[in-house]
Structure formats: structure tokens, C-alpha cells
């Protein structure tokens, strides 16, 4: 789709996930600026820059409303070019990348990457380069996820907070455990009663009778008391490892 003076109409598309932004420094503003500068330099009429913030490049169109709208508008001939800052902003999954590129082509549109020339060419070598870039992006994403998983595992082994509901006796502040005094008092009571010979179930019954709740206002059960005792027996109170020497009922 071109204007009356022959200039091509374009839509921009930006995307960033939390991990992408941290690893690459590719914030949305950097992407938008790069797209605008490219369109000015190449005399493209930039209608709008659409985007998806905080969404993984492996997500399909159902999870990316910005990309879905861009494709729809190009298929409706409102524009004929989709401009990206980098090809991996389109997708971090090779199959998804090629599916979107083909859908644009069938709809009469094309893709332009500000950082990588001729990614939408029909020339065999250019197709190969585009697919290699897509495969590398997918590999990089997989590698990053593996590193993050390893980091979370190591942090958990060291007793650190890795997400979810914090363990009893602690709250989570900026991804770190912080002692919660109201719950620490209950932990202390559990330790004293257990040292005096009370069973796990008896301790749970006593806490429930006194209106002292577990996490999220829940009732105490034998298993919950066991976890509190075992974690504190390790000496740090937040680790996953169990204390094999603790006595049972």
C-alpha cells in the first residue's frame, strides 16, 4: 500500500520481555527510535508502532495482540511493510518466525529489519541467512532459560527465595527472604512445643485452636508443622533440605 506520492506505508512492531531487556538492553524506546530513524531515512510512511511488552518471543499470536493487529492491518492492505528493530523481536522460535513471514508474504506484505538487511528476500542465500538468524535466536533463548533455571536452583539450594509463596516465617522483598516477626513467633512456639515432646498433630491442633494461621490464613496440618521443624533444624529456616535426624510421631 502506497501513498499518492508513491511512498510505502509501514507499521512498526516492538517487543521486549523482562529477560530480553535485562540481557540485551533493548528497551522499547531504543527499538522505537531505531524504527523511526529507518523509516525517515528510507522515506517510508510510518503509520504507527505497535508492540507487546513483557511477552516472550516464543509466544504465539494469541498471546501477542500487538503483532496480531499488525498482521491484520497489513492483510487488509492498510500498510505493506512491517518494520522491526531486529528479527528476533518478531519471534525467538524459528517455526513461528517463518510462519509469520510467510503469512505477511501471502497477505501482500513484507518484513524489514533495521539491524539485518534483506531478511525477507526470496533469494535462497538470504532465506538461509534469515533462518540461521532465527535458529540462533531460538538457541540463545533456550540457553538463557537454562542459565536462569540453573541460577534459581543454586539460589534455592543456598536457601534463597526463587518465587511462589514464601516459606513460613518469611516474606519476600525484592526477591529476597525477609523475616516476618508475626510468623517467627509461631515458629518459636512450634520449636518449643516440639522440644517438649509434643507431636506434630498436637502442635497443629493447638495453633488452630488459638486462631494462629498458616500461610494465606490456612489451617495448620501435621505436614506443615513437620516442614517448619525440619527447616529450622537445618539452622537457616529457609532451605529445602530435610533434617533426617528429626524425630517423628
Residue 54 domain boundaries:
9-146
**Co-location of 140 and 179 in the same domain:** no
Domain assignment of residue 174, yes or no: yes
**Co-location of 42 and 97 in the same domain:** yes
**Co-location of 177 and 130 in the same domain:** no
Length of the chain: 249
Secondary structure percentages of the chain, helix, strand, coil, to 5: 50, 15, 35
**Co-location of 119 and 184 in the same domain:** no
Domain assignment of residue 154, yes or no: no
Domain assignment of residue 241, yes or no: no
Task: Using the predicted structure, report yes or no on whether residue 163 has a pLDDT greater than 60.
Answer: no
Q: What is the CATH number of the domain that holds 104?
A: 3.40.50.1390
Residue 55: per-residue pLDDT: 73
**pLDDT mean across residues, the chain:** 77
pLDDT band at 179 (very low <50, low <70, confident <90, very high): confident
**Co-location of 105 and 26 in the same domain:** yes
Residue 8: strand, helix, or coil: strand
Query: pTM of the entire structure?
Result: 0.51
Question: Which pLDDT tens digit goes with each residue over 207-231?
Answer: 999 998 887 778 999 888 988 888 7
Total domains present in the chain: 2
**Maximum C-alpha span of the chain:** 89
Q: Indicate the range of 11-20, 150-159, 189-198, 232-241 predicted with least confidence.
A: 232-241
pLDDT band at 115 (very low <50, low <70, confident <90, very high): confident
Question: Which pLDDT tens digit goes with each residue over 77-103?
Answer: 999 999 999 888 888 777 788 888 888
**Co-location of 121 and 193 in the same domain:** no
Task: Provide the strand spans (E) within 107-200.
Answer: 110-113, 170-173, 176-179
Domain assignment of residue 99, yes or no: yes
Amino acid at each position: 500500500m502506497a501513498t499518492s506520492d508513491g511512498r510505502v506505508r509501514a507499521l512498526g512492531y516492538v517487543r521486549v520481555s523482562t529477560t530480553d531487556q535485562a540481557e540485551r538492553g533493548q528497551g522499547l524506546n531504543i527499538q522505537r527510535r531505531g524504527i523511526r530513524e529507518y523509516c525517515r531515512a528510507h522515506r517510508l510512511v510510518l503509520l504507527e508502532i505497535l508492540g507487546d511488552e513483557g511477552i516472550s518471543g516464543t509466544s504465539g499470536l494469541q498471546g501477542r495482540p500487538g503483532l496480531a493487529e499488525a498482521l491484520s492491518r497489513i492483510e487488509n492492505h492498510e500498510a505493506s511493510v512491517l518494520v522491526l528493530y531486529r528479527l528476533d523481536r518478531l519471534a525467538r522460535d524459528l517455526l513461528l518466525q517463518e510462519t509469520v513471514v510467510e503469512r505477511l508474504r501471502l497477505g501482500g506484505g513484507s518484513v524489514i529489519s533495521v539491524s539485518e538487511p534483506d531478511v525477507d528476500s526470496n533469494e535462497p542465500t538470504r532465506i538461509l541467512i534469515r533462518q540461521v538468524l532465527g535458529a540462533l535466536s531460538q538457541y540463545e533463548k533456550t540457553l538463557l532459560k537454562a542459565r536462569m533455571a540453573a541460577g534459581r536452583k543454586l539460589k534455592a539450594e543456598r536457601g534463597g527465595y526463587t518465587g511462589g509463596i514464601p516459606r513460613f516465617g518469611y516474606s519476600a522483598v525484592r526477591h529476597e527472604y525477609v523475616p516476618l516477626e508475626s510468623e517467627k513467633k509461631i515458629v518459636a512456639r512450634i520449636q518449643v512445643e516440639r522440644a517438649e515432646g509434643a507431636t506434630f498433630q498436637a502442635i497443629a491442633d493447638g495453633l488452630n485452636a488459638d486462631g494462629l494461621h498458616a500461610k494465606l490464613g490456612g489451617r495448620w496440618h501435621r505436614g506443615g508443622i513437620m516442614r517448619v521443624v525440619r527447616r529450622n533444624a537445618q539452622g537457616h529456616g529457609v532451605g529445602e533440605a530435610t533434617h533426617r535426624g528429626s524425630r517423628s510421631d
